[in-house]
Chain A
Amino acid sequence: MTIGSLIDTPSELTDSTSSKSAIVLMTRIRLARNLAGQPFPGWAKPAQRDKILEACRAAVTSTSAMKRGLAVGVSDLGELEKRILVERHLISRELSGSKQGSGVVISKDQAFSVMINEEDHLRIQMLRAGFQLKKAWAAINEMDSALEGSLDFAFSPVLGYLTACPTNLGTGMRASAMMHLPALVISNQMEKVVRAVNQLGMVVRGLFGEGSDASGSIFQISNQTTLGESEEEILKRLSGVLQSIIEHELNARARLLEADSGKLFDKIGRAYGILQNGHVLSSNEAMNLLSLIRLGVDLGVFPDAKRSITDRLFIEAQPGHLQHAQKGEFEAGQRDLLRAERLRSEFANFSRPDFTLSANGQN
């Protein structure tokens, strides 16, 4: 598979048939692994990095999950290609910024990606649309065991898998869910949720991880600690926290409808109007408008089938995807015009909002 054909294939996250879950958009698990006896990527010399890259790439590409996948060095990727992979959550910003001796292997269905020589020798990642912690764990566990057949991982019986940063020791696992929480944002409860979640040993980040903002009311919730608990225990705890966030979001939606449905419908109706008629849209504004449309779908204002369109546009409205679709590189100002044009055409035939349905808004 080439990078071009990968980009032209819809990602796991934009697959319309899998967008069933209303609040959890996507589940992701990553495992950090390192080769025994080798310096970590940040400390390795260029020649060592190249050797490690080769050894890891050979092992990863020979697994059955990576059959007919894409294996590519970061230095062989163009800026736009890297940006698209970041927007699809297939590589990290850190990897996209690294130069010599790092690479990525991505499975044909874009569910698996393995970054090589990012912070650790291997960052194995599994993405699933919807709330799928168990399935994602089963799949990535199998992948990890397959790699173990040909690679000697740095492991200590006391500290578990040894990682470049001690914050990943033990299981080396970070499991996260990307959640759409518009009602908690509208009712200003997000700050409290973040604090409560932090108290429970979980972290809340924006759509694109550390330091990114929460445009589109999309948040990533993941485990903070990796040592002292088994993978199953961590996943169970995370799952409990996610369930309770879902409940709070649903409560917040019910309360918004009860207290001031006019105001909420006004927001959704205006979002619809702007997406259908706007001419300049920044990616942040577009995300926030799409978020309101998605909330509308959840409440029954728009038909259920439209949710997959908003989920696809969440990714396609990002700068990398937008420029790829327009076959060129554009400045931010031009991009805002192009984005609005794209969204106008997507929304030209989008069903009109029906605010009478909202009473049966269920989830």
Chain B
Amino acid sequence: MSNPLKCDLCSKPATVHLTQILDNKVHKVDLCEECAQEKGVTDPSGFSLADLLLKASLNSDASGGVRCEQCGFMPSDFKKQGRFGCPACYDAFKGILDPMLEGMHKGTVHSGKVPQRALERKSLYDKLTRLEVDLTEAIKAERYEEAARCRDEINQVRQAVEQKPAR
């Protein structure tokens, strides 16, 4: 701790100490100011990158006349607000969003917590909707055996839904 560190490249006293964690391995580099500058370690652009990317891709008029059907949001609104209108905007503006995400984050695919309970609830509701459609169709076509099966399944799903209260 008391010995001044030397630059890994030229053995002058090191003033820039870079610690990088890649794949759970700690890499430490000690550099003098000149070497650090040369290697671009001191480049401060690191953290405004996200903003820059966002603005750049919006200015490149690739957006055309897309509009979010759910909330009426337009890409030009993003320029003003810097934020999207609603969750569905992420589908509507996928073409603009994808290229900007690449530089913005560590990856482009989520790998963390999943709202398990909410997703289960959603899949139950989706199933319920599907079964109700099937039931109507079965009745219309006078396939009564199938209709009875649908009705039983609907009752089962309804019970499951009641155990997972939703809004």
Contacts and interface: CB of A to CB of B under 8 A. Distances in A.
A227 B108 contact: yes
B111 to A, nearest CB: 5
Contacts of A196: 16-19, 41
Contacts of A4: none
Interface string A194-218: 1110111101000000000000000
B112 A42 contact: no
Interface of B is mostly: loop
A43 B118 contact: no
Interface string B47-58: 100110010000
Contacts of B108: 158, 227-228
Contact of B112 (A203, A229, A251): A229
A220 to B, nearest CB: 13
Given A162-B90, A230-B112, A40 B19 contact: no
Contact of B110 (A34, A157, A240): A157
Contact of A228 (B51, B100, B111): B111
Contacts of B117: 145, 148-149
Nearest to B82: A165
B113 to A, nearest CB: 6
A227 B86 contact: no
A158 B36 CA distance: 38
A168 B11 CA distance: 42
B165 A159 contact: no
Given A155-B114, A196-B41, A166 B104 contact: yes
A200 B20 contact: yes
Contacts of A153: 115, 118
Contacts of A170: 105, 110, 112
A195 B111 contact: no
A54 to B, nearest CB: 11
Contacts of A166: 54, 84, 97, 100-101, 104
The 4 closest A-B pairs by CB, nearest first: A228-B107, A160-B110, A198-B46, A154-B87
Interface of A: 34, 36-40, 42-43, 55, 119, 141, 144-145, 148-162, 164-167, 169-171, 173, 189, 192, 194-196, 198-201, 203, 224-231, 233, 236-237, 240-241, 244, 248, 250-251, 254-255, 258
Given A192-B36, A195-B46, 13 more contacts: A40-B85, A40-B86, A43-B71, A148-B118, A149-B165, A151-B167, A152-B118, A166-B97, A171-B113, A198-B46, A224-B46, A228-B105, A231-B113
Interface of B: 1-2, 4, 15-21, 24, 26, 36, 41-44, 46-47, 50-51, 54, 70-71, 73, 77, 81-88, 90, 97, 100-101, 104-119, 121-122, 165-167
